[in-house]
């Protein structure tokens, strides 16, 4: 069994993998920081205090930001493409999250008070939006737009 071809492919592609992974993780961390600053309730402090609803809501943020970014990684043509579409999808997610937080009035207070039902609802909205955004990035028409 000859392992030279797969090993050579791995060695050739590994630097690009590391660079794209680093950029994606940088976008991910930056988005989490921006979201944490944007929210009126301080999830991390609430999580440290043992608030399960804050943990569920913030978990929805983490998954909700990761899904479209993962789709960008899977469908990008290179680093610049990943950076552009990664920023676009993460901005859409942050705006959608903010809209959901505003639309569901009293939600920050309810999460701070430990209302798990409200947190699960918010988490579901965030993950649902993430799946839609990820699907939009994977749309063949978006791929044609990128190539043109």
One-letter-per-residue 3-state SS of the chain: CCCHHHHHHHHHHHHHHHHHHHHHHHHHHHHHHHHHHHCCCCHHHHHHCCCHHHHHHHHHHHHHHHHHHHHHHHHCCCHHHHHHHHHHHHHHHHHHHHHHHHHCCCHHHHHHCCCHHHHHHHHHHHHHHHHHHHHHHHCHHHHHHHHC
At residue 15, the pLDDT reads 92
Asked if the structure places residue 18 within a domain, the reply is no
At residue 39, the pLDDT reads 78
Asked if the structure places residue 13 within a domain, the reply is no
Judge residue 53's burial from the number of C-beta atoms within 10 Å of its C-beta, 0-12 exposed, 13-18 middle, 19 or more buried.
buried
Asked if the structure places residue 61 within a domain, the reply is yes
Give the structural domain span for 41.
23-147
Asked if the structure places residue 11 within a domain, the reply is no
pTM: 0.83
d(CA 109, CA 52): 14
At residue 142, the pLDDT reads 57
Q: What is the pLDDT along the chain (148 residues), one digit of tens a residue?
A: 788 888 888 888 899 989 999 999 999 999 999 988 887 778 889 999 999 999 999 999 999 999 999 998 888 888 888 899 889 988 988 888 778 777 777 888 888 999 999 899 889 988 999 999 999 888 766 555 555 5
Asked if the structure places residue 5 within a domain, the reply is no
For residue 141, CA distances in Å to 100, 136, 148 come to 28, 9, 11
d(CA 95, CA 61): 12
Domain count, the chain: 1
At residue 143, the pLDDT reads 54
At residue 138, the pLDDT reads 81
């Amino acid at each position: 069994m000859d392992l030279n071809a797969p090993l050579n492919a791995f060695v050739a592609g590994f630097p690009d993998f590391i660079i794209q992974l680093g950029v994606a993780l940088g976008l991910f961390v930056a988005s989490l920081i921006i979201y944490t600053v944007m929210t009126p309730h301080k999830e991390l402090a609430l999580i440290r205090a043992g608030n399960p609803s804050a943990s569920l809501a913030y978990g929805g943020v983490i998954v909700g930001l990761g899904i479209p970014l993962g789709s960008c990684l899977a469908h990008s043509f290179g680093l610049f493409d990943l950076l552009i579409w990664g920023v676009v999808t993460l901005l859409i997610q942050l705006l959608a999250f903010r809209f959901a937080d505003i639309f569901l009035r009293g939600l920050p207070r309810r999460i701070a008070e430990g209302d798990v039902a409200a947190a699960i609802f918010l988490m579901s909205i965030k993950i649902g939006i993430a799946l839609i955004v990820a699907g939009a990035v994977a749309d063949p028409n978006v791929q044609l737009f990128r190539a043109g």
